[in-house]
Amino acid sequence: MSSEQLEKLSGLLGDTAKVAYNERSNLIRIEVERGELRNVAVQLRDYGFDHCSSVTVVDYPKEDLMEVVWHLSSYSRSEVSRYTIGLVTSVSRSKPEVASLTDVWESALFLERETHEMFGVNFVGHPDLRPLLLPEELMGTWPLRKDYQLKKKREDVFKKGGASL
Amino acid sequence: MMDFLNLIPVTWLPLLESVFYALVFPGFIAILLLAFFIIWFERKAAARVQMRYGPLWVSKRTGGIAQLLADMIRFSFQEFIVPEGADLIPFVFLPGFLLAFSVLPTLFIPIGPYYSHIFPAGYTLLLSVAFTLVIPVYLVVLGWAADNKFSFIGALREAYLLISYEVPFILAIASAFLLYGTLNLVEVVTIQERSLPGIILNPVAALVFLIAVIRATGRGPYDIVEADSELVFGPYVEYSSLMFGFVMGVPYIELYSYSLLFSVLFLGGWAPITGVGFLGGLIIPGIVTFVKAVIVMCALVFLRGVYPRYKLDKAVRAGWSWVFYLALIALLLSAFMSRVL
Amino acid sequence: MTQEIKTIPFTYEALSQLKMSEGVLELQIGPAHAGSGHMRIVAWVEGDTVVKVDPDIGFVHRGVEKLSEDRIYIKAIPMVERPSLVDTVNANLGYVMALERLLGIEPPPRAQYIRVITAEISRIMSHLYGIAIYGIFMGSSTVFMWAMADREPFIDLLQELTGARITYSHIIPGGVRWDLPKDFAENAEIALKYLENRTKDYEKVWINNPVVVARSMGVGKLSAEGAIRLGVVGPNLRASGVKYDIRKEEPYAAYEEFDFEVPTFKEGDSYSRLLQRVEEIKQSIHIIRQALKRLPDGKIIYEDYYKRMSPLMKKIYDEKGRVKFTLMLTSLSPPKGEAVSRVEGGRGEMFYYLVSDGGKAPYRFRVVTPSFRNLPFFTHVMPGHKLADIPVIYGRIDYFPPRPIDDGLFEPDPRYLVAPS
Amino acid sequence: MGLVLLPKVIEVGDEGSFYLGNLDQVAKRAAEYIKSNRVANKMITWGYSYSLWPAYLVTACCGTEMAAASGPRFDLERLGFLSYGNPRQSNLVVIDGTLSIKMAKVVRTVWEQMPEPKWVIAMGACVLDGGIFWNSYNTVLARDVLPVDVYVPGCPPRPEALATSVIMLKEKIKEQQAKYLRRSRKGALNKEGVSSE
């Protein structure tokens, strides 16, 4: 991404957002506080990033924080459609709560629902946070968190014949 | 063999003949053998279209013709499940009615000039058509009795299609009646022998008749009632063992009686070959009509490999629009042609 | 005649508070149903019109992301291929590109060309599988059998190259595992010529079939604006008129050296999505021919890795042109950092996000398969259509487990929608 | 053999009454007698083994190989293997691919809906003993859910492997029926009051 486009974008977003450019994977990492999240998202959408490719969480148990990442890219504007934006905000592990961006990007609807059931991050304002992928038994165990230990050895997995039904 | 006939008291002769018609030739045993052939032919023809073998290893030398026998044996030795939500009497007995009423028309369709039967011969066309119209009603009740959402929707679809395609069907029969002037099928065939076969006299009526037949038996693009990718198997969802065997066989037997009627009405029945007496007047011409009917059946059955499925609302709309207009044209055409005849 | 269906902008809240009139029937079109893949479509149907649809997915969720944190980097390759088993090469390519971006290495040109060839063959196989499933959903098993038959020559082609029928795991960080066999070009040419005149047969029997046109024209309409808003991917997006293909927008693996154009259609209904896939098959054939003609020779593994190979591995490589899994590959530990890679798979854009903390196993690995991004088709497009349209829309968006696909922004009939007071 | 479970016919009344007895019991005894006949047993085995209709249940990614197996190149309809979709009419469940917990419940319900003589083919390494997703939190083995008859290794197994598994299932059906015949002819059924004389 040419440097003046980078300046224009970071100037547009104001001082609250820290912008870093990863040249190899065309990734622009924008770190934002939780408060600023919505208006930065709206500015990005008006700038041209019109859909959300993925919503995920990177869990750092040691620093006791979770990074919620929205990956955005652009269909309509061709000069920025090469790049992906990683909109990152960090959330405390004890009370993971963040504003849902489904009204900004409709495509984040099911992505946020999946991230909610995998990590337990509560997306405030999401219309319908029911479990999507996991069966009812596993709802609430937040399997993708680092402290959810997988069974490592084969014996204890198959001692009682696999996961109980 | 001929002299043994006059040993039997004369009064019994028509009764014996009717038993023979019902049981042996156009009736039950012929249908059973034909069902074997037709279902095998359908699966093999569809397989050939799709560049593969189709049922083969069941009976290797005869190319898998015994596949239906294997299926029937499996069905008959399978557990028959009656869902407790379904109400028992219609659920268990209706397939029997379906089977009976689809076999009945073959009793009235004459297969030879010497075809006399107990029932008044003057109304054979009316009688044979009347029984085929009752089958969809049983289908609707059957779909309702099975207490399953998919079979309920299947039954509703059958009701929609029934209404929209029976009217053109009746008009096609009426135009045939107008064309030949008589309801007695034996006279119909004699008229066709004198002049041209019915399909040339009134091709539009033949076309409408065929479309209605395809709809009634659910072949080709019209298998909307038991559409397997939307409703799992239409009204027959809940049937399991031998009952499913009956219910699966009903469309084929219906197809047999319709195509027998078609070959008598429009293809001139036993036109080239006529004879007298038991052998010449019944068996040989019967075989001619039978072969014509089988050819029509093979053509209709082959449609499965060609067309995807119609949508219900488009099929119903087509039923009321162009199929209905075709039927009216057929009526006018036969009115004109009957003047010429 | 195309069905005129008005499109009213619609938000998810109004859809979820839909007031049900009492005539509505809830249909569970479950996983064990001829018209649904690995998911349960819960459809509220009134008469024959679909009022509301709620997809219930996750029947094939196996936790690839959690398992990859438990295994070394190389072992994630077979796990990444399984979710989209019909388009394994693109899935494999996406993950390996993310890993290479972390490691900071670049495969030699010949390896890039081989990657493009196998990726395009895999795209053709994925489109043919999609057409096959569309056929069986429309009730014509003939097209299912034809498309399955046309897939077999390409399966043989890649089986000759890698030995496996579908799961190749052919692409490794730094290059590819096998070099093309000698007569690969001739066999590929035979297969491509066979497919070209097969597409003529498809046109006659299937694409211009009046029943298919009647059933899919104007069904599941999706406006370009709706496609962007719902974030749908791949051929479904291009069929609605949005000209977006990652091979052109963010060229990877030697795609910028080939000239191919991105076909788009305007109507965005199921029929144009069918035509879109046939056009893309033609483009893929064009790309494979160019790649086979201009195939450069040279190494198929990254220069530095070749030097660090043990002498025995080098001997195997020189004789048979085959890269064995060296100790160096299995003990990969990329530097701390994160990488994103996007690949245009047969069904759409595959998104990979890899975070590493310098250890032997990835710290966080995020996969978004194209099926998952097309989920809004169900909730937004299907309401208002007939029950018979569910397989038509659902089949045509080329759904493959574990996550369903959807297209378009179309609103239910106003009669069924009571505006939330 | 599962016969029509007709309600028990009770006697009507004394004048003009007729006692039909317990129709169920009579039908069951007749069924047992037929099945213990040697020729009928051979016919039933042939019927079962050549008409294996799998329920239309694609559990996971091995489904592509099952679709390829029913495609034109490895056409399984030659062996009478016609995927018919409805659990009520099918007598075989092919578990192709990983069984997640949700899918295991569905497979169990489909298996229970099927009429009695039914068999299970488990296809793919994931249902044999875990495959590459062995320690996932969401996968279940086939033997926890259903009594499996034939296992097909491979990930995904080749269509030829599926074809051989169908042929192996035919042998298994032959053995089962032969064992049933030996038991019934030895009078083992007499315990249920079936008089063999």
Q: Are residues D56 and D42 in the same domain?
A: no
Give C177-196 as a DSSP string: SBPPPTTHHHHHHHHHHHHH
Q: What is the per-residue pLDDT for B172? A: 92
- Least confident range of B247-261, C114-128, D7-21, D70-84: D7-21
Chain C positions touching D58 (Cβ under 8 A) are 31, 37-38, 401
| Interval D176-189 mean pLDDT | 78
Higher pLDDT, C412 or C235: C235
Cβ-count burial D3-24 (b if 16+ within 10 Å, e if not): beeeeeeeeeeeeeeeeeeeee
Report the relative pairing of strands A27-31 and A18-22 from DSSP bridges.
antiparallel
- Least confident range of A86-95, B132-141, C33-42, D54-63: C33-42
Q: What is the per-residue pLDDT for C154? A: 92
At position B53, the amino acid (one-letter code) is Y
Query: Measured between alpha carbons, how far is C135 from C124 in angstroms, rounded to an integer?
Result: 17
Q: Are residues D76 and D173 in the same domain?
A: yes
Task: State whether residue D149 sits within 8 Å of chain C by CB.
Answer: no
Which tokens in the block code for residue A132? Answer: 């999507």
CB contact under 8 A, B74 and D48: yes
CA distances to B89, C62, C167, D5, D24 from D28, in Å? 21, 46, 51, 10, 6
Q: Are residues D59 and D93 in the same domain?
A: yes
Task: State whether residue C211 sits within 8 Å of chain B by CB.
Answer: yes
Residue A103 maps to a domain: yes
Which tokens in the block code for residue C210? Answer: 């009046």
Query: Measured between alpha carbons, how far is B266 from D125 in angstroms, rounded to an integer?
Result: 60
Residue D196 maps to a domain: no
Cβ-contact D46, D38 below 8 angstroms: no
Band of residue C418 on the pLDDT scale cut at 50, 70, 90:
very low
Task: State whether residue C67 sits within 8 Å of chain A by CB.
Answer: yes
- Going C267 to C269 to C273 to C275, the CA torsion angle's sign is negative
Q: What is the per-residue pLDDT for C215? A: 83
Task: Give the rounded percent of residues in chain B with a pLDDT score beyond 70.
Answer: 93
Tokens 């019967």 — which residue? B286
Query: Measured between alpha carbons, how far is C28 from C10 in angstroms, rounded to an integer?
Result: 25
Mean pLDDT of chain C: 80
Domain limits for position D31: 2-47
Report how many Cβ contacts below 8 Å link chain B to chain C.
Answer: 81
Q: What is the per-residue pLDDT for B242? A: 85
Tokens 């044209």 — which residue? B329
Residue A72's beta-bridge partner residues?
A: A52, A85
pLDDT beneath 50: ranges in chain A: 161-165
Q: What is the per-residue pLDDT for D169? A: 92
| Interval C64-92 mean pLDDT | 87
Residue A145 maps to a domain: yes
Of C237, C263, C245, C215, nearest to C392 by C-alpha is: C215
Q: Considering CB atoms only, which of D61, D103, D126 is closest to C31?
A: D103
Which other chains touch chain B, taking contact as 3+ CB pairs less than 8 Å apart? C, D
Flag whether pLDDT at C27 surpasses 70.
yes
Mind listing the pLDDT tens digit for each residue in D74-119?
Answer: 888 888 888 777 888 888 888 888 888 888 888 888 888 888 888 9
Task: State whether residue D105 sits within 8 Å of chain A by CB.
Answer: yes
Flag whether pLDDT at C129 surpasses 80.
yes
Q: What is the per-residue pLDDT for C407? A: 25
Residues with Cβ within 8 Å of residue B314, at least 6 apart in sequence? C214, C215
Residue D172 maps to a domain: yes
Mind listing the pLDDT tens digit for each residue in C372-409?
Answer: 888 887 778 777 777 777 777 776 665 443 322 222 22
| Interval B246-272 mean pLDDT | 87
CA atoms within 13 A on the CB side of D9: 13
CATH code where residue D67 lies: 3.40.50.12280
Flag whether pLDDT at B209 surpasses 90.
yes
Domain residue ranges of chain B, discontinuous segments joined by +: 79-340
Q: Are residues D114 and D152 in the same domain?
A: yes
SS3 D31: helix
Residues with Cβ within 8 Å of residue B246, at least 6 apart in sequence? B95, B96, B98, B99
CATH code where residue A90 lies: 3.30.460.80
SS3 C33: strand
Q: What is the per-residue pLDDT for C214? A: 84
Residue D192 maps to a domain: no
Residue D183 maps to a domain: no
Cβ-contact D127, D142 below 8 angstroms: yes
Flag whether pLDDT at B281 surpasses 80.
no
Confidence (pTM): 0.88
Residue D74 maps to a domain: yes
- Count of CB atoms situated within 10 Å of the CB of A109: 24
Task: State whether residue C237 sits within 8 Å of chain A by CB.
Answer: yes
Flag whether pLDDT at C179 surpasses 60.
yes
Q: Considering CB atoms only, which of C33, C139, C387 is closest to B308?
A: C139
| Interval C172-188 mean pLDDT | 89
Of A22, A11, A32, A42, nearest to A105 by C-alpha is: A42
Mean pLDDT of chain B: 84
Q: Considering CB atoms only, which of D58, D72, D102 is closest to C58?
A: D102
Domain count, chain A: 1
Mind listing the pLDDT tens digit for each residue in C250-264?
Answer: 888 888 888 888 888
CA distances to A16, A37, B316, B324 from B167, in Å? 75, 66, 12, 7
Q: Between residues 38 and 57 of chain B, which touch chain C (CB distance below 8 Å)?
A: 46, 49-52
Query: Measured between alpha carbons, how far is C402 from C391 in angstroms, rounded to an integer?
Result: 17
Band of residue B22 on the pLDDT scale cut at 50, 70, 90:
confident
Q: What is the per-residue pLDDT for B204? A: 92
Residue A96 maps to a domain: yes
Angle of the B242-265 helix axis to the B124-145 helix axis, nearest 10: 150
Are A and B close enough to touch, i.e. 3+ CB pairs under 8 angstroms?
Answer: no
Residues with Cβ within 8 Å of residue B291, at least 6 apart in sequence? none
Residue A67's beta-bridge partner residues?
A: A58, A90
Domain limits for position A82: 3-158
Q: Between residues 103 and 122 of chain B, which touch chain D (CB distance below 8 Å)?
A: none
Q: What is the per-residue pLDDT for B339? A: 82
Task: State whether residue B65 sits within 8 Å of chain D by CB.
Answer: no
Mind listing the pLDDT tens digit for each residue in C335-369?
Answer: 998 999 999 988 888 899 999 988 888 999 998 88
Flag whether pLDDT at B45 surpasses 50.
yes
Q: Between residues 329 and 368 of chain C, which touch chain A (CB distance below 8 Å)?
A: 337-342, 349, 351, 353, 355, 363-364, 366, 368
Residue D75 maps to a domain: yes
Chain C positions touching D55 (Cβ under 8 A) are 32
Residue D193 maps to a domain: no
Higher pLDDT, C273 or D57: C273
- Least confident range of A120-124, B105-109, B113-117: B113-117
Of C20, C89, C86, nearest to C54 by C-alpha is: C20
Q: Are residues D144 and D117 in the same domain?
A: yes
Query: Measured between alpha carbons, how far is C203 from C61 in angstroms, rounded to an integer?
Result: 37
Cβ-contact D91, B78 below 8 angstroms: yes
CB contact under 8 A, A157 and D130: yes
Are A and D close enough to touch, i.e. 3+ CB pairs under 8 angstroms?
Answer: yes
SS3 C30: coil
Residues with Cβ within 8 Å of residue A84, at least 6 apart in sequence? A25, A26, A27, A28, A53, A71, A72, A73, C340, C342
Domain count, chain D: 2
CB contact under 8 A, B74 and D78: no
Report which secondary-structure segment, H or E, holds A21: strand A18-22
Flag whether pLDDT at C3 surpasses 60.
no
CB contact under 8 A, C353 and A106: no
- Least confident range of B247-251, B267-271, C342-346: B267-271
Query: Measured between alpha carbons, how far is C224 from C237 in angstroms, rounded to an integer?
Result: 8
Q: Are residues D10 and D42 in the same domain?
A: yes
CA atoms within 13 A on the CB side of D170: 18
Q: What is the per-residue pLDDT for B15? A: 75
CATH placement of domain C63-371 = 1.10.645.10
Report the relative pairing of strands A97-99 and A122-124 from DSSP bridges.
parallel
Q: What is the per-residue pLDDT for B327? A: 93
CB contact under 8 A, B51 and C389: no
Q: What is the per-residue pLDDT for A164? A: 44
Cβ-contact B106, B28 below 8 angstroms: no
Which tokens in the block code for residue C172? Answer: 């490794």
The torsion angles phi and psi of D49, rounded to 5 degrees, stand at -75, -25
Angle of the B88-103 helix axis to the B124-145 helix axis, nearest 10: 160
Which tokens in the block code for residue B108? Answer: 């009235």
| Interval D34-51 mean pLDDT | 87
Of C156, C161, C150, C327, nearest to C169 by C-alpha is: C161
CA distances to B42, C53, C199, D173, D185 from C48, in Å? 31, 14, 34, 43, 55
Cβ-contact D36, D185 below 8 angstroms: yes
For chain A, the first-to-last Cα distance in angstroms comes to 51
Residues with Cβ within 8 Å of residue A41, at least 6 apart in sequence? A70, A87, A101, A104, A105
Higher pLDDT, D85 or B151: B151
Q: Considering CB atoms only, which of C16, C244, C250 is closest to A26?
A: C250
| Diameter over CA atoms, chain C | 77
Query: Measured between alpha carbons, how far is A37 from A98 in angstroms, rounded to an integer?
Result: 9
- Count of CB atoms situated within 10 Å of the CB of D172: 13
The ipTM estimated for the assembled molecules is 0.87
CB contact under 8 A, D46 and B70: yes
Chain C positions touching A110 (Cβ under 8 A) are 372, 375-376
Cβ-contact B113, B132 below 8 angstroms: no
CB contact under 8 A, B51 and C145: yes
The torsion angles phi and psi of D96, rounded to 5 degrees, stand at -105, 105
Q: What is the per-residue pLDDT for C55? A: 81
Task: State whether residue C289 sits within 8 Å of chain B by CB.
Answer: no
Query: Measured between alpha carbons, how far is C79 from C362 in angstroms, rounded to an integer?
Result: 13
Chain B positions touching C387 (Cβ under 8 A) are 153, 230, 312
Q: Are residues D105 and D159 in the same domain?
A: yes
